[in-house]
Structure 1
Amino acid sequence: MSGDELNLRVDALTTQSGRFKSLIGEFFRLEFKRARPKWGPYEVCIEIAHARDTSSQDVDRVAKAVLDALTGVVFHDDSQVERLLVTKVEGDGPRIAVTARPMKPVRILEDA
């Protein structure tokens, strides 16, 4: 955790949200006893790494599993996620890297 930003790396790859939820939930119970989910809009970036020789996972299924795991830990409901970026890359082995942070207000400049 860095301020309101969560950076998490899991050296495994699964689409089973129950496994992610219990793993992430247990991590937060042990390491961040005071962490509570927050309200407001969030952005989440997920990088899915897989080895060249392994079958690759569907990005939408992995993203859903990750969002389900973060619900109740980082934010109250995954409907709070207003920006989601999921990238699949080739790596040395299975890994999921997640960054979740409150969205900053975007200021749109009007034409002069």
Structure 2
Amino acid sequence: MQASATEGSLNVRVDALTSQSSKFKDLIAAYFRIEFKRVGPKYGAFEIVIEIEHSADSPVHDVDAVARAVVEALTGIVFHDDSQVQRLHVEKVLGERVRVKVRARPITEMRVDVHADAA
């Protein structure tokens, strides 16, 4: 595992993935607690980006099961409630080994709707 914190973003790379989402959830939660124990949960909107890396011969993992495990693991550690997650991006990519990368960060910028009708 590897962790870093940059500009309000908490990043974790887990070099393993189990087919049992509850064990994976516990693993992610424990790691965030250890690495970011001084951070504490925050209020406000959050974005979570998850990249599931798998090899050609690794077991199949459902992106929704991994995403749910990650969001549940971060609840109470990074943010207070999972309803604070306003953006969630999950992607499965082919790689050399099985691993999961997670980035959680507060959303601070305003989004402008470029498709809004000009009146």
TM band (smaller chain) = 0.7 to 0.9
1:92 maps to 96
- The whole-number CA distance in structure 2 between the counterparts of 1:23 and 1:49 is 17
Cα distance in 2, alignment partners of residues 63 and 19 from structure 1: 14
Is 1:31 aligned with 2:40?
no
Q: Which moved more, 1:92-101 or 1:29-38?
A: 29-38
The answer for the alignment partner of 1:44 in structure 2 is: 48
| Alignment pair present for 1:55 and 2:54 | no
How far did 1:56 drift? 1.6
Question: What's the CA shift for 1:100?
Answer: 0.7
Tell me the alpha carbon deviations over residues 22-53 of structure 1, each in whole angstroms, 9 at most, x when there is no partner.
32343344333312000100011100011101
Match of 1:2 in 2: 6
CA shift for structure 1 position 78 = 1.1
User: What TM-score, normalized by structure 1, do the two folds share?
Assistant: 0.86
Match of 1:66 in 2: 70
Displacement after TM superposition at 1:17 (Å): 4.3
- SS at the partner of 1:47? strand
TM-score normalised to structure 2 length: 0.81
Does the CA contact (< 8 Å) of 2:17 and 2:24 recur in 1?
A: no
Cα RMSD of the aligned pairs, angstroms, is: 2.0
Task: Report if aligned partners of 2:17, 2:100 keep a CA contact under 8 Å in 1.
Answer: yes
- 2:98 equivalent to 1:78: no
Give 5+ residue unaligned stretches, structure 2. Answer: none
- Distance change in 2, residues 1:74/1:88 (3 Å): same
Q: Single out whichever of 22-31 and 34-43 deviates more from structure 2.
A: 22-31
Larger RCO: Structure 1 or Structure 2 (Cα < 8 Å, ≥ 6 residues apart)? 1
Instruction: Quickly say closer, same or farther: Cα 1:28–1:87, change in 2 above 3 A.
Output: closer
Structure 2 CA distance for partners of 1:57 and 1:17, relative to 1, 3 Å: closer
